[in-house]
A and B are shown apart, each in its own frame.
Chain A
């Protein structure tokens, strides 16, 4: 019998290795905050983080950065009202940033999950973010070649999960979570609701179990 539920976030992230590339879902809401805290406790270092942002305040992802456990961030928007930790590290030259347009970031992750090596996009053509990249003209329009993104681990948050790892999401909590689930060797989901296999409406399953390796039930309620 398949049962992907593990009993704790500690167990869920126990084997994340130093030097891993870790995708972290979330966009304002839908962040796997308990899994991030577990990764902080777990101690893996030299990480590359793929996420939309680079941490807020001094908790969560920002704390992971502050502890010098992150070598590189791949993101679209490392600036917030309170991005103190990333700012400090960046100004000191102690963290590498790969800045990616948000849609290109999402598509590179989708490509990673779908076995596509790369794709041409008109986004960023002629700008600083396309410097050094291969370009091509198709039917009179210029495109930039972008490579797929893969990860060793994806940490995501979902709304409901069953023991196979079928997942649903809650409103804007969906964001990057479903695509990241497809692009990692090890996808770990924290879910608000543990439901029986068979209780989810098949068409409502946004992430089917094939993309999920571990599920941990963290019924923390609404995001603050």
Chain B
């Protein structure tokens, strides 16, 4: 017996997030899956991508024969500047974040709690040295924080939970979660279902979720 629904691919998730970003927003995309979102913003729709290392107006990855070795993003990958792009230093770049000038940040997650808490920087393994980068600054400073993540871990543990058990990156900062099977708003009453992939019922979705899902209302 097979399930009647199909999870979204990484590309489909990125396209789904991109659809909700209006023209004119300044957007910071986290390292990893969120980076894919920029590939799905249609040409001619001016959405300005910010990178923590000081790029305002980041373009896509260059073709191999057109790499500017001085132009990297926060993940230290080669990128391009769009027409109109600007470069600032690190303190100004994070001033844009902390000062609330970034309309949206999209990050990955280990866990998101129904109160909007996010855990995405450290596990409970103390042997590895901790590393945080700019994640806490983005949680505290961006106007909105959307999360892109799978509904469950590879072993089937829910990533949407009542309270995070991993160390927190930010408190009550997540406003929306895009998973590979559904979209949720995070409101004062917890996870509110916006949509699910076709064929996935709320009972089955609830089984994959570690907190109560509520309908929109």
Contacts and interface: CB of A to CB of B under 8 A. Distances in A.
Interface stretch (A6-14, A32-40, A62-70, A98-106): A98-106
Nearest to A87: B129
Contact of B122 (A29, A90, A128, A171): A128
Given A87-B129, A175-B54, A102 B94 contact: yes
Interface string B65-103: 000111111001000010000011111011101100000
Contacts, number: 144
Contact of B136 (A123, A174, A176): A123
A102 B137 contact: yes
B201 to A, nearest CB: 36
Interface string A9-50: 000000000000000000111100000000000000000000
A177 B54 CA distance: 12
Interface in B123-174: 127-137, 139-141, 167-171
A179 interface: yes
Contacts of A106: 89-91, 93-94
Interface string A150-176: 000000000000000000011111111
Nearest to B172: A126
A179 B137 contact: no
B114 interface: no
A23 to B, nearest CB: 12
A179 B91 contact: yes
A110 B135 CA distance: 20
Interface string A187-208: 0000000000000000000100
A27 B131 contact: no
Contacts of B94: 102-104, 106-107
B140 A121 contact: yes
Nearest to A79: B131
A125 B94 CA distance: 16
21 contacts: A27-B76, A28-B76, A79-B129, A101-B135, A102-B52, A103-B95, A103-B137, A109-B91, A110-B91, A126-B168, A126-B171, A127-B136, A129-B132, A172-B70, A172-B72, A172-B73, A174-B54, A175-B54, A176-B90, A178-B89, A222-B70
